[in-house]
Amino acid sequence: MKTYLDCIPCFFKQALESARMAGAGKKTQKRILNEVAAILPEFSLTSSPPEIGRDIYRLAREITKKDDPYLKIKDKSNKLALGIYNKLKKKVEHSHDRLLTAVELAIAGNIIDYGVKNSLDVSAELAKILNEENKVIKEENKEIFDYVRFKSALKIAKTILYLADNAGETVFDRVLIEEIKRIDKDKRIIYAVKEKPVINDALIKDAYVCGIDKLAEVVSSGSDAPGTILSLCSKEFLSMYRKADMVISKGQGNFEALSDARREIFFLFMAKCPVIAQDVGCRVGDVILFSHRGKREKHN
């Protein structure tokens, strides 16, 4: 997805948030905003938002000299999500369609705000995300929630590349991967995280803490962009990306980076902002599960 002009105010917002997360004082925060402003004329709107986002987060890291400003929040998110893991499993076990419920949970895990929450709040927020209204949306609009195509692709895939998004969400990914393995324990699953810290994106450590390593091969994409930008990924990762029978991509950042990819990719995320919603053709807050290829075919 290309960067829209509406993303520009949001880049400043992200830079400010990142500066604050790094504990920068007001002067440093302003300096970071000035530096973002200085590179704004160079932003190419044909780049995807995570490409520009990467420059912005780097700049904030360099100026604040904090390599991983979101470390605490990531650790907290993992802990809180692990705290409701048993609840998530019960939800799956008691559902009519275990896989569908696991998919819904994996998407819901993407938008929980772990900021100032305890596991009770996280459970409550989860219930809100998975409310009946969303279910109606999914049933009404198969174009943005194409579970049938997802299930068919999953059935025949032997190797699945799973692109992670945030820490904490990793626990929800584990629940989905467990369901996939339950269907066929011989499926090979590769779980790809970011190479270096960027926002609250999961790193190898987060995947291990959340127990993903017991189910999947945990690898790094080789990049520190807040989305899987292929041109920045390692050769090893690209080889896995090409060879995988199926790619499952989590989160908005990965969608932004890969929405024009040549191979089929299944995107699982919640539309968090009006720009994405417009690009996808959905509403803010919609639960998304589609492959861009499947979506195009339905259109033609």
* Cross-strand pairs, 189: 160
Cβ at position 58, least distance to a copy of itself in Å:
18
Which of residues 44 and 86 has its CB atom nearest to a copy of itself in the complex?
Answer: 44
Residue type at 127 in one-letter notation = A
Residues 35, 213: Cα–Cα separation, whole Å = 39
Residue from the set 18, 22, 29, 267 that interacts with a copy of itself by CB under 8 A: 29
3-state DSSP assignment of residue 246: strand
Which of residues 10 and 137 has its CB atom nearest to a copy of itself in the complex?
Answer: 10
Q: Please report whether residue 116 would count as binding a copy of itself according to CB under 8 A.
A: no
Residues 269, 104: Cα–Cα separation, whole Å = 10
Token pair of 130, please? 């998975």
Cβ at position 177, least distance to a copy of itself in Å:
37
Residue from the set 1, 2, 13, 176 that interacts with a copy of itself by CB under 8 A: 13
Which of residues 16 and 230 has its CB atom nearest to a copy of itself in the complex?
Answer: 16
Residues numbered 173-192 forming contacts with a copy of itself, rule: CB under 8 A: none
Cβ at position 11, least distance to a copy of itself in Å:
8
List the x/- string, 34-53, binding to a copy of itself by CB under 8 A. Answer: x-xxx-xx---x--------
Q: Please report whether residue 297 would count as binding a copy of itself according to CB under 8 A.
A: no
Q: Please report whether residue 16 would count as binding a copy of itself according to CB under 8 A.
A: yes
Residue from the set 1, 2, 5, 158 that interacts with a copy of itself by CB under 8 A: 5
The 10 Å CB-count burial string (b at 16+, else e) for 126-143 is beebbeeebeebbeebee
Q: Which stretch binds a copy of itself (CB under 8 A): 32-40, 118-126, 171-179, 240-248?
A: 32-40
Beta strands of the chain (E only): which ranges? 159-163, 188-193, 217-220, 246-250, 266-270, 287-291
Neighbouring residues of 83: CB distance < 8 A, sequence distance ≥ 6: 119, 122
Q: Please report whether residue 261 would count as binding a copy of itself according to CB under 8 A.
A: no
Residues 260, 258: Cα–Cα separation, whole Å = 5
Q: Count CB-CB contacts under 10 A for residue 179.
A: 20
Task: Give the interface with a copy of itself as residue ranges (CB under 8 A).
Answer: 5-6, 8-10, 12-13, 16, 26, 29-30, 33-34, 36-38, 40-41, 45
